[in-house]
Structure 1
């Protein structure tokens, strides 16, 4: 996905185990709505997560779909995770992959990669929908100038758990002794969770930085009720219990605090402002590699 301009919305402070509630701001990418929680002016990252978009849910008429033209990235990994619909990913390494619900699409930019995301021609033959999360994970300083890479993990390979009204899938990292096979360069936690009404989920303080993003239903933490489509940043070091007030779907994300601040400009992330300037110049001058099969279009550098 490509960076969308916009202003921050609001945040609410809570004196209990929730350090901050981030109310996402809404944007539009070609008649398709996204809600952005990160980056936020008072919370730039949660662990390595530096960008967080809820895509949809949205519907497309016959002949329509999402068309994110080729655009560049440096210094980050994109993580695409869908609940409904499909997206066709193409990148400058030659990868051509259809993303379906539950798969993990992990594209690591390193020193530079270009990709596009579109609705497939066959999918456009009938009405379709799209709903999911796309996030960016900042790369550690030791890897941000490395070679680009791509990894796709099929939903069937992701470990699941189901007990006491709680179902989950570990997307990245390790949760409650269950580990995802997907690669990470930094300590990262990312879990897809479904809670039946009345279920209680304890979340340990093992992970340094954590947040919850509720997609559906209401949750309660320390007696405070939280609505869906908000990001609750948890206080470091606190053991908390999430109670589902009705059927809930939520994402748990976080990881170790990053190894220093990150600068973000458009689709570029780096620990160095000079590297951001170099990336701007490289895209302006056409020095990034092309996307095979999608060479005719591109997103120009913002002015």
Structure 2
């Protein structure tokens, strides 16, 4: 039932902010259209902490970023003029398309002190949508399709699953949901997609008798249909249809390495507009100009 288990790799993005990098992985670069998967924190931010924990303005092309929090708050600003905090069980969905820039600030968390904990995923766009117009949408907690059943509480973040459909616009077939399971609870894993995975943010589960612990992603075969919580657990379930190989450089994703080079040149030359009201600093292009298919440990100093 489990094809592979991927352990998160802890990465320090600077200023005390850590993520657990899950995707891409050397032996599994994508799950459906999901090309990046970062577990943010958990980290306690003290009141008055340095602004170094903020993620400065940086660019994206060819993908959608999906930010979802369990605790804390992040402030999103982008080059479309959008300014929107994301809080627990809310979704910030940003489609970069042909190009967008944004920042992710911890303004409220730094002001009062709080725990920051969440997930940021990247969803690669199909070839026909890679150069679509950039867009941003925010979906509040009460707007997310939710359900409860026998020790399971679920929130559908994107796509269609569990007989529900989320509001965020997607460009290819996928599903993405957050499940909280009580000890011993059994939850269904959505079927009907070629590629699926579950990620345990906290706790421990079993799939077909095989354990999956906190900080691990289990990539599933088509036989996997349910999971059981060994203890109270928070789990992300995700999947979709493959969209073909993608090249990855820094914050850029594309089916064309030439397009990545062009995006890097545009950012380096200052041809990409910075977020409105947040144009006093930016994240420089990394020194390495190598463009390659997604690799296990390609670090990005831009997005979370």
**TM more than 0.5:** yes
Deviations 1:164-220 (A, max 9, x none): 111101100111211111111111110100111111123243121110000121111
Partner of residue 202 from structure 1, selected from 184, 188, 206: 188
CA separation in 2, counterparts of 1:114 and 1:33? 22
1:117 matched to which residue of 2? 104
Aligned to 2:154: 168
- Distance between the aligned counterparts of 1:25 and 1:204, measured in 2? 27
Partners of 1:239 and 1:18 lie apart in 2 by: 7
Instruction: Please give the residue correspondences for 1:132-147 in structure 2 after superposition, counting only pairs within 5 Å.
Output: 132-147=118-133
Using the size of structure 2 for normalisation, the TM-score is: 0.91
State the secondary structure of the residue aligned to 1:276.
helix
Compared CA separation, residues 251 and 204, structure 1 to 2 (3 A): closer
Report the aligned-residue RMSD: 1.1
- Residue pair 2:2, 2:224 contacting (<8 A) in 1 also: no
> What is the CA–CA distance in structure 2 between the aligned matches of 1:246 and 1:76, rounded to whole Å?
35
Please name the residue that 1:254 is paired with: 239
Deviation at 1:224, TM superposition (A): 1.4
Residue in structure 1 matched with residue 177 of structure 2 by the alignment: 191
Give 5+ residue unaligned stretches, structure 2: 288-304
Aligned to 1:84: 71
Cα deviations by residue, 1:68-117 (Å, 9 ceiling, x for unpaired): 11100000000000010000100000001111111110011011100001
Q: Which residue of structure 1 lines up, in the alignment, with residue 250 of structure 2?
A: 266
Show the counterpart of 1:300: 284
C-alpha contact 2:75 2:83 (8 A) present in aligned 1 = yes
Partner in structure 1 of residue 142 of structure 2? 156
| Aligned counterpart, 2:89 | 102
User: How many matched pairs?
Assistant: 284
Q: Does the aligned pair in 1 maintain the 2:182–2:229 contact within 8 Å?
A: yes
User: Structure 1: where are the runs of 5+ without partners?
Assistant: 1-16
The structure 2 residue matched to 1:75, chosen from 51, 62, 66, is 62
Residues 205 and 238 of structure 1 are in contact (CA less than 8 Å); yes or no, is this contact kept in structure 2? no
* Alpha-carbon shift at residue 19 of structure 1 (Å): 0.4
Q: Structure 1 pair 204/152, CA: closer, same or farther in 2 (3 Å)?
A: closer
The aligned counterpart of 1:19 is: 3
Q: For 1:63, what is the secondary structure of its paired residue?
A: coil
SS in 2 for 1:40: coil
